[in-house]
Structure 1
């Protein structure tokens, strides 16, 4: 597959009164054309900082890219000037933020906000931009777009506002769409509608998406591949099936085990103990070691490398070392694997009929 974005050894820090916060510590991943990569992890793991750094939207100071490359279209975005980035933002790479109400200007009609990017990047006339804005509002599922184009953000519901934000992000047919928890502020029914809308638009426009979320339920419905972040690092990456049915990192086990399940017994509600690491003084070994019931002695002393599980699946845990003791994953993870095996055997049986 054709790679559209490559992030190599990215380090991002923030200088604070308390010291240097190492928010992102050596992140590596790539994004293929037309795919959706989900980045998951609890709050403070570095997900949003990663996405905002790609767009060069972290405030400088106090933020800074200490090291690494962000390769897109033959250019390293980390080294571009602000003026050069302005030509890329909105045109080639767009972003959908978490809260649509703070993303939209309350004093401007929504039509004008969609038209801005079209006039700047596509060089359309006002009348052509207005026609395209009406078309985009219809595309994202807003009824009577020719009427609603003249309304203000406060006249829209939360879900409709998020649709407007998606219309703005897609206005210039970007190659990459960064969605930073775009459904967090919405109720479950509207969440499902927005996710279906994004999947539908991706098929029509062949846009590559980086979907930032802490909700693994959303991931299962929207992503092709999943990167799990913890303590400013990617600790596991693989296809959706590999992460959900064959997870290898204890942190991924914890995330999956803490998902609400209708099958779970009353005494099976799981929570990962402890709290995320202090990134002013990051731990010496594996950042997850102190919260990890399966931690080995080496986890407290040496950071694990990325071990290869398959051509598409990698995990940074010493449990994958050839000399590591064999560890039984938690009951919920074992059940997930068994569910996958049963579905595979069922599919094979139906093939032979």
Structure 2
């Protein structure tokens, strides 16, 4: 199956008073039709900036795509003007943001906000747009959608507001949906409902989803493939089973070790020591070296390439070099890998 979206050697920089911040550094990934790719990592790893670059939403003039290609539907989105991107944004590629209250206009009725994109991108009458908006609100599980079309965002609960935002994102049947931590502001019960809703809609519409999160528990439930980002780079990429059953990068080990599990509440969580590097001055070698208990001299001198683990699994760590010493994951990670491989829940 062909890739619907191809990101190649993407670099995004921001000019600041302190200098140039290299927020995204040589990112590569692709996504196929109907597939869900999760991008995970700590805050500041470059997840949101990467997807905002795809949407053409990098803050200008300070921010820019300094290098790379974003190939979609025969076009390089990195080379399109703002006016050209307006025809794609919301129609072919849509985005759900983290906080629905900052995405919705508090002074505009919900129905009008759902209709806005339909009227902009599709040649339909106002009545047809209204009927489509009612259908969408019903699709995302809002009861009595016809009456609620005339209500304002403050009259909806947090979970219902997020459903409205999803309805807006789906208004023009996009080929790719980008979800930027869409459940972070919601409680656990509502979070599960929203994730289930997104999976159902994806199957109905055969849509590709890029799901940004720092929560590996969410990843386990929604993703087909996972890209682990650190300091503006993808450090590990694989199928969801590769990442949970056979992680290779020490940073991925750290993320898995810091994830609480339901089965063993007494199990100690492992914190990743230190802090991410300053991307005003990116490190010469592996950006994770200073926080890595397994770092070798070469980690401080040279960035590792992406080593192939399997046809679906790649990791950028010198530990995979043929001359590197054999290193096993920490005990807590090995226990979790064994639990996962025996069919235990990942969350």
TM-score bracket, shorter-length normalisation: over 0.9
- Where does the alignment leave 5 or more consecutive residues of structure 2 unmatched? none
CA distance in 1, matches of 2:235, 2:208: 22
* 1:220–1:240 CA contact under 8 A, matched in 2: yes
1: CA distance, partners of 2:35 / 2:261: 28
Partner residue, 1:348: none
Once the two structures are TM-superposed, the CA of residue 267 in structure 1 deviates from its matched residue by 6.9
> TM-score, normalization: structure 1?
0.96
Q: 5 Å matches for 1:90-129?
A: 90-129=90-129
State the secondary structure of the residue aligned to 1:235.
Answer: strand
Could you tell me how far 1:264 is from its partner in structure 2?
Answer: 4.6
Q: Which residue in 2 is equivalent to 1:82?
A: 82
Tell me how far apart the structure 1 counterparts of residues 305 and 255 of structure 2 sit (CA, whole Å): 21
CA drift at 1:340 = 4.0
For residues 179-221 of structure 1, the C-alpha deviation after alignment (integer angstroms, 9 at most, x for no partner) is 0000011111110000000000000000100000001100000
Q: What is the root-mean-square deviation in Å for CA atoms of aligned residues? A: 1.2
**Contact 1:245–1:333 (8 Å) recurs in 2:** no
Query: Aligned-pair distance for 1:30?
Result: 0.4
Aligned residues: 344
Answer whether contact 1:228 1:252 (CA < 8 A) is retained. yes
- Would you say the 8 A contact 1:304–1:318 is kept in 2? yes
- In the TM superposition, residue 342 of structure 1 has moved relative to its aligned partner by 3.3
Aligned to 1:167: 167
**Whole-angstrom CA distance in 1 between matches of 2:199 and 2:272:** 31
Q: Which residue of 2 aligns with 1:177?
A: 177
Counterpart position of 2:209 = 209
Q: Find the counterpart in structure 2 of residue 56 from structure 1.
A: 56
Residue in 2 that maps onto 1:4: 4
**Correspondence for 1:225:** 225
What is the CA–CA distance in structure 2 between the aligned matches of 1:262 and 1:193, rounded to whole Å? 19
Unmatched tracts of structure 1, length 5 or more: 345-353
Contact 2:245/2:341 (8 A) holds in 1: no
Aligned twin of 1:329: 329
Corresponding residue for residue 347 of structure 1: none
Q: Is contact 1:231–1:276 with CA below 8 Å preserved after alignment?
A: yes
Whether the 8 Å contact between 2:244 and 2:340 is mirrored in structure 1 is no
Note the alpha carbon deviations across 1:208-254, whole angstroms, 9 max, x for none: 00000001100000000000000000000000110011000000000
- Alpha-carbon distance in structure 2 between the residues aligned to 1:49 and 1:210: 13
Deviation, 1:299, is 0.4
